[in-house]
Each structure stands twice: as C-alpha cells, then as structure tokens.
Homo-oligomer: A and B are copies of this chain.
C-alpha cells in the first residue's frame, strides 16, 4: 500500500514529493510542542492537485495534514497521525487586487505581509496582522482565524474573508460565500471553515475584504503603578467614546525583558504599560487622545506619554514587537497562552496570575491585546526540569479554568490544535463538544482531515508539553 501511494504521488508531484526520512522530519514541528514525522510530504500548487491528493487519501485511507509556514502555537500543522503532510508554502503565486471592489484574492501560500503591502499600494488596508505576519501564510491565518493587535477596532481574520474555494474531505472543489459583505444565501460555510484548523475542508483560495486605509495614526504610552488599575483602564478607555485601533498591555516583567534585550530606556519600575493607538483623520487624533486622557484621570491614572513623531511612535511599537524575541532570548522554552476575557474581568485575571506565579514558583510574563481581552500569559521554563514542567502544566490548567469561570475562553487567536484539546469540554460541556463533533463527522466521515486536533482525546486530561 505504501509503495502504491508513493508511486501515485510521485507520478503527480515528481520532485515536489518528499519521502526520505531527513525531509520528512523537517516537516514534523510547528511553534508549539511535539515532533511528528509524516509518511509523505507533497508541495501542492493548485486546487486540482489538492483534489487528487484527497482522492488518494480516501482510496488509501491515510490522513492529510495541511501546513503553511508552521508558525502555529497550538499544534495545527503537526502530522500527529502521520500520513500525508500537505505543504502550501510553495503555492504563493496568485495574489490579485480588485481595488474598485475593495477585494483581494489569494492562493493559500501567500505571505500575509505581502497582502498588506499590495493593499497599501492602493491606499487600502487588510487589517488582520498576526505577530508572525512577515513569515506566516494566509492559509494558516485562515485555518486558525488569526488575530493580532487591531482586533479591538477591526476584528480578526474571519471578519475579512468573504469567500473561499475549498476541497472537501471527499475531494469535491466547492466555493463558499462570495464577493460581498452581505450574503445570507444558505449557511455561512466560510466562517465555519475559517478557524476549523484544517479539520473540515482544505482551503485553496480566499477572497479577502479590504477597507480604506486610515490616513494617520498616533500612539500613547500609559504607565501604571499597579496591574489592577491597568486592567480597569481598558474599560475606561473603551467607554470614553473613542475607538482605539490598537491597545496592547505589557506587565513589568515583559517590560524588563525587552529593556534587558534592547536597551530602549523603558520605565523599568512601571507595574505595566498600555500602548494605545488611535487612527483616522490626522486632525482628530490629538483630540481623541485628550478624551482618553480625561477618562483615565477619572480613575486616577495620569502618566501618559504621547509619541510626537513617527520615530517615537515606531519605537513604542518596537517595544511590543520585541516581547516575544526577548523572552525566547532567555534560552528557556516559551509556553505562550492565549486566554481571552470579558473586558471587565482583566483585572481579576491579572491578580490571579500574580498569585499563581508565586504559588507555583514560575516565571510568568503577561502581555497581550488588552483592548479585545486577549492576554498572552507566557511561561519560561526549563523543559529538562520535570518538576517544573509539572508545575507549569498545573499552572496553565488553573489559568484556563479561571478564564472559563470569568466568562472567557481558552483561546483567542492561537487555536486549540493539540495543545488545548484536553480542555474543550471544560469550556463547552459534553453536549457542546458532541454538537461540534457531529459537524466533523458529517463533513469528514472517514476522519482524514487533520485528525487528532481540537477534540479531546480519551484519557488526556491536561496540557501536552511533552513529545510522546
């Protein structure tokens, strides 16, 4: 069987088929944990090729795992059940803008920042901007419903996808949605497929919506003496009548990591900083920052620094971008969490994490997209210290359960993958998981598309950090 499948794949893909162990191993990881070696790797470049592979997978009953640039932090592109790894990274040649329709169409391997650049040339904007945008593919963004800092005003990937071309588990090519923002013709398959992590269908093309690019931006840095007040300031700003375009928080620990790493003369003593960007017509931005300042004064916050030049603004955003590299630099393993909370509950979560940090004796850094409640508590750990790894797993479980208890969710933008599948039932209950499973079963009855993702695995009760 293995030989037959190899021959069939080779006849189509030739040098775009990989089956040597050294090639296969290099396709077995992502930005999370675990190493899983696929049986075959194929580099697809058309919907028809995807269709052919899916039909072979059906014939030989082997699973398919789609993979973009593999920057995922949740295990989405890991070929856990082996089979065929479908590499989309080489399929990046279709990228077309329709400026009068405010649309872009793209093949799945296009790098996200290339979409940003193309839109920008026409004074248009594609708002979703995950941290990895200069290296990740739009296909991966679609599969995981990627977010980024503009979520507070502009939403996430899903909010900018009008239509998809997909290959179903049985190998049919179909189109979902279309070219219009308003579309109520049948079920919203587009938004069902986006964020389904490659488990319901394989995306082969996307129609993305653009918006007019804001004329200008302005950024302020707000300093806090305690994390609780920093948390409270988020609702205060968002109910002031201004809609910030970005609103990012860094706790004292994150701030000091960045300062150690990049020496930017940051306020090391601040309990937290909030970076707030407003965008729109240049004549309005100062007024909006004054409105924000007034709202903060009411809750006793008065340390606000406004970037007065493009360079100063750039420097502030540099701080945010350096958080992850600075943490990685420390040499230990970085475990990035992704809980998301109702805005008023952010202060409670900060208090909880502070407690957990002490109780479990862990190095936890908190930063994230404060404006949409999406926090990234990030733990630095020595994976060789089995005792510490156990404490990390306990701590993460406690953070997850507290997020759920506060009315929040396990994952705001990284996805469930393998990393959080053990906690799905905690959030949505047994019936909720079964309802989702019914959809998976209906659309992929042979469980060929990215198996072992999202849904709980019998017996697995906690975070999967080790490679089994």
The reply to whether B242 and A412 contact each other, CB–CB distance below 8 Å, is no
Give chain A interface residues in 310-357, CB to chain B under 8 Å.
340-345
A212-B240 contact in complex given A100-B344, A342-B180, C-beta closer than 8 Å: yes
A435-B172 contact in complex given A98-B344, A409-B178, C-beta closer than 8 Å: yes
The stretch that binds B, out of A40-48, A59-67, A367-375, is: A367-375
| A413 part of interface (Cβ distance < 8 Å) | yes
Contact partner of A122 among B122, B239, B409, B432, CB < 8 A?
B239
Tell me the complex Cα distance, A231–B425, Å. Answer: 50
The reply to whether B416 and A373 contact each other, CB–CB distance below 8 Å, is no
Nearest B-chain residue to A177, judged by Cβ? B409
| Identical subunits present | 2
Residues of B within 8 A of A341 (CB): 179-180
Tell me the complex Cα distance, A123–B196, Å. Answer: 36
Taking the closest CB of chain B, its distance from the CB of A236, in whole angstroms, is: 9
The reply to whether B181 and A428 contact each other, CB–CB distance below 8 Å, is no
Taking the closest CB of chain B, its distance from the CB of A287, in whole angstroms, is: 6
Residues of B within 8 A of A411 (CB): 183-185
The reply to whether A159 and B159 contact each other, CB–CB distance below 8 Å, is yes
Nearest B-chain residue to A455, judged by Cβ? B186
A186-B241 contact in complex given A98-B344, A180-B409, A373-B180, C-beta closer than 8 Å: no
The reply to whether B428 and A174 contact each other, CB–CB distance below 8 Å, is yes
Residues of B within 8 A of A418 (CB): none
Nearest B-chain residue to A281, judged by Cβ? B284
Interface string of A365-405 (1 = CB under 8 A from B): 00001001110000000000000000000000000000000
Residues of B within 8 A of A440 (CB): 187
The reply to whether B102 and A238 contact each other, CB–CB distance below 8 Å, is yes
Contact partner of A187 among B195, B239, B344, CB < 8 A?
B195
A178-B408 contact in complex given A238-B212, A283-B283, C-beta closer than 8 Å: yes
A183-B340 contact in complex given A188-B158, A428-B175, A443-B438, C-beta closer than 8 Å: yes
Tell me the complex Cα distance, A353–B22, Å. Answer: 62
The reply to whether B431 and A186 contact each other, CB–CB distance below 8 Å, is no
The reply to whether A342 and B179 contact each other, CB–CB distance below 8 Å, is yes
The stretch that binds B, out of A1-9, A143-151, A254-262, is: A143-151
| A414 part of interface (Cβ distance < 8 Å) | yes
Contact partner of A424 among B98, B185, B240, CB < 8 A?
B185
| A288 part of interface (Cβ distance < 8 Å) | yes
Tell me the complex Cα distance, A174–B430, Å. Answer: 9
* Between-chain CB contacts (< 8 Å), 6 pairs: A102-B235, A174-B431, A182-B372, A187-B195, A189-B435, A442-B443
Chain A positions within 8 Å of B, measured between CB atoms, are 98-103, 122-124, 144-145, 147, 151-152, 155-156, 158-159, 168, 172-176, 178-189, 191-192, 194-196, 200, 211-213, 215, 235, 238-243, 280-281, 283-284, 287-288, 340-345, 369, 372-374, 407-416, 420, 424, 427-429, 431-433, 435-436, 438-443, 454
Top 6 A-B residue pairs of the complex, sorted by shortest distance between their CB atoms = A442-B442, A182-B412, A100-B344, A100-B235, A191-B191, A101-B342
